[in-house]
Amino acid sequence: KVLNEGTLTVENNMVLGVNGVVRGPVYAHVATVEGSITGDLICKGSVRLAATAKVTGDVQCTSLLIAEGAYFCGKVVCTQAKE
């Protein structure tokens, strides 16, 4: 497994693969999560949680898609997309 402990900041689109593990807050423009995040996920755009995703923490984004089978425990704050 790929492990990142601490803050992860991605300037553009982030894809966290099935074997990816992040412990700490994640900041990205758009995020696709297939692996595991323990910490808040803050995105300027959309967030997609795949069926294999495990997210424990709050999510802030403009839109959220949670696939059947994904695990999510936290709050969601939806913001309006900036033009």
CB count in 10 Å sphere of residue 10: 15
Chain segment 23-34, per-residue pLDDT in tens: 999 999 999 999
Give tens-digit pLDDT for 42-77: 999 999 999 999 999 999 999 999 999 999 999 999
pTM here?
Answer: 0.92
